[in-house]
Structure 1
Amino acid sequence: MDATLTPSPPQHTYATLRSVLTWTGSVLYPFMALLPAVSADPWAPGILPACGSALATVLLVGLVRRRPMAALVTMLLVTALLPAVAKYHGPVWFVPFAAVDLMLGYVVATRTLRASVVAVCLTFLTQCLTVLGFTHGPDNLIVIGTIALLALVTACVVGLLGRERRRYATELRSHEVAEAITAERLRIARELHDQVAHSIGIIAIQAGVGSRVIETQPLEARAALRAIEATSRETLSGLRRTLVALRRSGSSAEPEAAPYGPAPGLGELERLAATTADAGVAVDLRWSGQRRQLPPDIDLSAYRIVQEALTNMVRHSGAGRCHVSVGFGEDELSVEIVDEGRGMRGTEPGVGFGITGMRERVALLHGEFSAGPLPGGGFRVAALLPLPEPTAAAADDAAVAGADAAGADVR
């Protein structure tokens, strides 16, 4: 079925209209600024025509945005002619210079240092010549000159403050972008490390077992190869899911990303324990408290902490058994992994990607983390993750779930 699409108006239409208005205002500005001075009644209050000439500067708004230096030069030329073409002279004709000073402040705040110096010099010379040429008497010269100089200095100071503020805002924005990029890179690194490290460790152990018994115990070797195949497929699926999530951008997410399944959580600890048991290490998994649905970030982080701790235990501790405890408190989730092996070397803070990744995950959730060898031998990893207050729906789900796996011993 064919659909008739209404073409959107060309984008350049608005730009063309804006250009026409900009240059039209620039052409009309000299006439509209000089008209009040030429047609002013000598007996009328002089401040009204002077203010009218100053308000004519609004016609240059479009030119100010495009070419501020050209707008400043135009304003200087027109403003310098005002006292000359006026039917009478008076200090009020220096009121339009207030608009010039505002324009000068904008140039100083937005243009380069060289352009700002040129603008300040042009403005200063023009105002000096105007004051000297159209001011009568030393008293008026001193007063008007002082006021003009103070206004010029004020405009420059305000412009410099605006420049510093813009520079600070730009640096702050760049810093925030850099921090966001760094945080995203660390998140991706943690996720890839947690996904791959555990699986590679299991694959290495199963491959070693298979190579030793392939001639004497073919059935054991076949089982090891099957474990390697299953672990490899699971890892590949996780990597594809991660890559799809990285390619996803808002509403443009590919619909084919859905079949790869959701991110893992504590509900898959039993399967993780079984996989670790296949590698030759029994896992004693115990639950405490009232289990309930967790926020996705806490659920994933808790699972990754257990996964990384088991990976390190399999690769480094040499233990045959470990204990994993997960406790649901009222306002925090506790995770503890303890083994009875020889511990790990290089467990100081910041050493190794595994311990560092777990510590970063807990820190992002404003929790508490500890990892280190036990006095009597073995190694302990513990994390406390704060939990949000459960909603009524979450409480109902927790009541249904209960403590299904409380005290379960998975080997």
Structure 2
Amino acid sequence: MDRALPRAPWLRRLPSGAWTAVSWCAAALFALLLFGSTTYQVALHGPRGAFFTGLWQRAAMAVLLALPVGWARRRPVPVFGVVAAESVLTFALGENTWPLFVAMACLVGHLAAGRPRRTALTAAGGALGLWIAQWAAGSHHGETLGDAVSTVLGMAATIAVPWMIGNSVRQQRRYGQALRDHAADRAVTEERLRIARELHDMVAHSIGVIAIQSGAAGLVLDTQPERVRQALTAIESTSRETLAGLRRMLVSLRQAEAEAPAEGLEGVDRLVERAAGAGLLVEVEWRGRRRPLPPEIDLAAFRIIQESVTNAVRHSGGRRCRVSVEYGTEAVAIEVVDDGRGGTTRGPGFGISGMRERATLLNGQFSAGARPDGGFQVAARIPV
């Protein structure tokens, strides 16, 4: 299944409506190009040189043929197929087809920038083959072999140049995404190493002391009660110090979470109110029989919803967000969908990595990404 790559950060700043306006402006310009080409056809060859001879007929044809381009941003592959079919129909009617191939070349560049390479190469090959076939079906009296080769090479260049530009954009975006993923993975790894070092420094020595003291107490249990008492006192003191250190470390790790007013799914209603104050309408749907969940699952589920809604408020530019929580017999399923700008990452932080980490630590499943119809979707399934 084709999946669009995330846009570059400077492109993600543009609202979704701006991209829609750009698509329809491109469709309008394409309609003018089609109208101008058919008008030139009639002026050059007379009324018999083209199928559509009336002014309004040519205008209606241009608008009708250009209309699918308005959906090229969201549905580039179907639009490419429609434009290819239009070129066949236009050729059969005796009209100029080169404007349609210009549009197909632009769509090839768009596909190369945002779709899998196989899809873009297939589109490029199909456009080139169709163009050559239509050219070969025409009349070429007086043309030499060199003229034919030059024409075919020109057609190939017209398709290849947009593909190379789009592929270059794709590679740059993949490289930027790889850098961001590497930075997120490195941050998680460094945090794990820091926690591991702290635990080792705090626990290893204390457990060693406790093991030695308990072993010594076992050896003199019947002969030297005073030594046993001293060993037990040392074990108690060491244990209390270790517990105090672990408590301080856990408090520092959970400090950000401790500042939140809610500790589980019961805080979703307050989260909805805060999001509404920020301009995002959140609709919550509860499925299944609501019941108490284990604390770690309850907290993880709320944090995933909280981070998703926060990302929607800060980065999506959308107006509506739907939260679905389903209580199953074996797992709790969470889905958060907004209607804003899509993208696999949102902002410079590591929110998506953190949500994935929460789900993975509880043997759950997690996914996040842009939706084909626009917007962003976060889904998680955590066993109970």
**TM-score, structure 1 as length reference:** 0.42
Which structure has more relative contact order (CA 8 Å, sep 6+)? It is 2
**TM-score, structure 2 as length reference:** 0.44
